[in-house]
Each structure stands twice: as structure tokens, then as C-alpha cells.
Structure 1
Amino acid sequence: MHGSAGPQETAALRLMLFDRWRLVAGRQVVYVPARSQRLVALLALRGRQTRWSLAGTLWPDVDEQRALVSLRAAVSVLHRRVMGLVEKDHGEVQLADGVCVDVDEFRTHARQVLSRHHSDLSVTINQPTVVGGELLPGWYDDWVLVERERIQQTRLHVLEALASSLVERGAYADALQVALTAVEIDPLRESARRSVIRVHLAEGNTADAVREYERFRALLRRELDIAPTHHMTGLMRQLTEHASWEQ
């Protein structure tokens, strides 16, 4: 059910940018027109901005005055829909402090995972605020593409770090799920493939590790006409040397 939120609901606002744009006040989804959605998303991703910077980023193909008019219209719509969502101060605009944004939560958790300070890995692998998601799919503004790539790189590092931590705890099924998610995001990323191989090796599944390596090597040859790096070949060399020694 769509509706509008009053001033008393502002502190309970939650903005989601992973997988789709969605604003929720309490239990109610708030309808916001596309022009105002873009404004909210930009403020959520980049923080406090001047009116001129916002107008130029959101409407780069028109002159400054028309862009500022469009910005004022977008802000006006937001004030009618959700009073207090956006704040203006001395020519600058920002989201209200009380708005919860899934990307902010993801960034916080990412810092914890990458610094190895995340204590409860068992509940993380299915939480978008921990492993992230695709940022604003279907949006192709230049600034969205930049932010999407930045978040995707963070996601990949988080997934690889989680896979490593889960292997250390012996949670091989979860580790493999996480590592394969990284491969799904970027099939040509070697460090993601190495994460998958390390899970297989930790479980003693040598054949699965070799198959994963051969699949990756064939993909690299077909797509980029290159070979795996010495990090990958060294990992596989250790495997074959160990197997030869055991024989």
C-alpha cells in the first residue's frame, strides 16, 4: 500500500537502494516520483551537497537555471510526500539524520568484516546489509555507475573475507555459498575463484578444486586470451606437489 508519511514518522524512515529503490515509513511504502527518487539516492550515497552540485549532477544536459528549477521541484515534492526527509541549510541539501539507509549499514558492516571484527558470521551470509546487493538496478546515470562500481568492489572484498573466515571456522557449506556469490558477481575475478578453490581444498575435495581451476583457465583464455596469474598457478602447483608426495 502506497501513501505519504507525516512529520511524526520521519525518524522511522528506511531507505533501500540495493536491488530497487524503496522508501518505507514504519510499515508503509512511500510513493516518490522518479525525479525525487534520484535526488534522495544521490544524497544517500554522497552525503551533504550544494544545490549547484546536486542540480549539475542530476540534470547535466540542461543549463544551470533550468537544473536548479528542476531541483526545487524535486525538493518540493519530497516535502509534500515526506516532510523532513530532506533538509536545506545555507544553500546545501542533505538527508535528515534519522533516515536509515541500507547502503550505510552495508558500509559499516563491510568495515567490520574487512577488519576481522565481525563476531557473528553465522547470520551474515543472507543479510543484504552485510553482503550487499546490486545498487539501483536499471539506473544508468553516470554518478550511479560510479557508485555501483565502488560498492561492487567492496562487496567482492567482503564476500572473499567472509569466505576465508568461514573456512577457518569449518563452516564449509556457508563459505562455498559466499565464495560462489563473488564468482557470480564477477566471473573473471581471480581472487573470487581462489576463494572457491580454497574452500574445496579445505574440505579435501581435490577434484572439485582442479575442475574449478580448469573452468577458470578456459574462461580467461576464451574471454581475454590470458592465463591465470602466478598466485593461482602457485596454489595449484602446491596441490599437485602435495598429491605427488602422498603417492
Structure 2
Amino acid sequence: MACGDRCDDGTGQLGPGRERAVDGGQVCLTVLGGFDLSVGGTTVTVSTGAQRLLAYTALCCRGAVPRALVAGALWPDTAERCAYASLRSALTRLPAAGRRVLEVGPAELRLADGVEVDIRGARTLAGEILAPRATLGRLALGLTAVEDLSADLLPGWYDDWTLLEAESWRRLRIHALEALAGAFVGAGRFPEAVAAAGAAVRADPLRESSQTCLIRAHLAEGNAGEALRDVECYERRLRAELGMPAPARLRRLVAVAAYGGAAGRDS
């Protein structure tokens, strides 16, 4: 049997010599915008079950985690024995590159050292933006930062653990995007401010604070008409989805900027 095939020794442990069966290169696990595993820049094909195992380990495991916890989380609707069997099967079917992602012991597993996971860098970026006294100059941020904060976590995945992690990431990135939009406005970098606020709105189209950021960015750039169109679009969405009107303060915000408040008083 080749080294690359020696994954399961009956307990689900990775067999010896596995590193020799894998080409070198940085191992990167992508969970933002969809799942992807690559080694040295080359995408590795992974089965659906293995994808779930690798993604769960990267997102939900802080250090070594008992196999029972992993099996129960990934196969919650099956008997314990069947869940263990499914976990062993997923480990066995991991390709050689996939085995580099995990360190597997008799009773626990963990993410291997040196594996790059995109969500970790994105969370760090969000934390830096939201840190007290953070400044654009110190962080040297631009449109790349907006892009890094714009992707959903594992869209189309509906496991309970995935939805919880996705919602946590959505809230964090929206706060970071709103803060980033405000910082860009303050620095006079209006296209980037619009991009950041727009990404926040796309993450949650009904969120008033994100919509306000976008309107302020348009107004700061001198585009009152664009701001008014966004207000009207927001009003239509609120009425259609929640049956409620948009806050009058959003229209007043546009009126004050465009007409010095006269239009707001006339209305």
C-alpha cells in the first residue's frame, strides 16, 4: 500500500510516512465565499464529507478536540456508533493534501500547525479596524480590506455549526465595514467609503446603520441624488419585507445636505 493510502489504521489515525506522499507547498484552506483547499497554489479536490470535516476543524476547534465531539457535531442525527463510523470514513477518504490539514490522534484531532485559513486573517483584520484608536494611516487599508471583509462564510451550507459561525462572522464584518466606511469618509477617500458601506449593506440590506453609512458616503462625495435613490430603495425594501416605513431621519439627512434643511422643513 502506498504511503498516501495509509490513512486509517482501524482507529482513524493517519499512517506513518504521509508527508512523503504529499508535494510541498503552503496548505491553504478557504471558507470565505465557498470551500477550497489548495497546496502550493494548486486546488485539491475533496469529497463533501471531507470538506465538512476540514471546515469544522478549522472553524470550531480551538486546539485538540475529542473525536466524539467532532462526530456528534457533523452527524448529529445518527447513532453514536454510526457517527464514529462516518468520521473514520471521512478521515480515510481524505486525499494526501487533506491529511496535511489535520493532526489526528487515537482520541482527538486538531488543525495542523502552519495551515493558512482565510477566515482567521479576515477576523484579525476586522479586529484591527475596530480596535480603539485604530487609524487608516497606521493600518494602511484600502479596497483590498473591503474585499477581504465582503465574502460570506461557506454560503449554501446549512449545518447548525456552519450557520452559527456564519452569523458571527457576518456581524463582525458589518461592524468593521461600517467603521471602515466612516474612516474613509473622514480621510476624504469617498470611492472607498462607498465601497465599504455598500458591502455592509449587501451583508444586511435591512440594517439602518449600514444604510446610513452609505448615504453619508454619497453625501460626502457630493452625490445627493445617489443618496436619495438609496433611501427610496431602502424604503421599498422595508415595506416589502417588514411592512414598515424607513426612518424619517434618513430623508432629513439627505435634505439637510442637499438643501440646507429647507426641504426637510417643507415636508
TM-score range, shorter chain: 0.7 to 0.9
Aligned to 2:53: 39
Q: How many residues align?
A: 240
User: Deviations 1:217-246 (Å, cap 9, x if unpaired)?
Assistant: 23212321223347646645754783339x
User: Which whole-Å CA distance do the structure 2 matches of 1:98 and 1:9 have between them?
Assistant: 15
Change (3 A) 1:92 1:214: same
Once the two structures are TM-superposed, the CA of residue 77 in structure 1 deviates from its matched residue by 2.8
Residue 141 of structure 2 is matched in structure 1 by: 121
Q: How far does residue 10 in structure 1 lie from its aligned partner after superposition?
A: 6.7
Distance 2:242 2:249 in 1: 18
1:17 maps to which residue?
31
Check conservation: 2:32, 2:118, Cα contact below 8 A: yes
Which deviations, in whole Å up to 9, do the C-alpha atoms of 1:81-123 show, x marking residues without a partner? 4444211346221110210000111111110111225521225
What letter matches 1:14 in structure 2?
Answer: C
CA–CA distance in structure 2, aligned partners of residues 122 and 63 of structure 1: 50
Q: Indicate conservation of the 8 Å contact 1:32/1:81, yes or no.
A: no
Residue matched to 1:58: 74
Mapping for residues 221-240 of structure 1, pairs under 5 Å: 221-229=239-247, 232=250, 235-236=253-254, 238-239=256-257
Alignment of structure 1 residues 103-118 onto 2, 5 Å: 103-115=119-131, 116-117=134-135
- Residue aligning to 1:186: 204
Per-residue deviation, residues 130-173 of structure 1 (Å, max 9, x unmatched): x1412222222121122112111222112211111111111111
**What residue number does 2:101 align with?**
85
Compared CA separation, residues 210 and 23, structure 1 to 2 (3 A):
same
Mapped partners of 1:132, 1:210: distance in 2: 24
Structure 1 range deviating more: 188-197 or 139-148: 139-148
Are positions 1:134 and 2:188 aligned together? Answer: no
Match of 2:260 among 228, 242, 245: 242
Tell me if the contact between 2:256 and 2:262 (Cα under 8 Å) persists in the aligned partners. no
How much does 1:11 deviate? Answer: 6.8
TM-score by length of 1: 0.85
Cα 1:123–1:221 change in 2 (3 A) is closer
**Identity between Structure 1 and Structure 2 (%):** 36
Give the deviation of 1:125 after TM superposition: 4.0
The answer for the alignment partner of 1:102 in structure 2 is 118
Unaligned runs of 5+ in 1: none
Please give the root-mean-square deviation of Cα atoms over the aligned residues, in Å.
2.7
Which of the pair has more CA radius of gyration?
A: 2
1:152-204: CA deviation from partner (whole Å, max 9, x where unpaired): 12221122111111111111112112212222232211111101110122123
| CA displacement, residues 31-79 of structure 1 (integer Å, 9 cap, x when unaligned) | 2221111011001111242211111111111100110111122223337
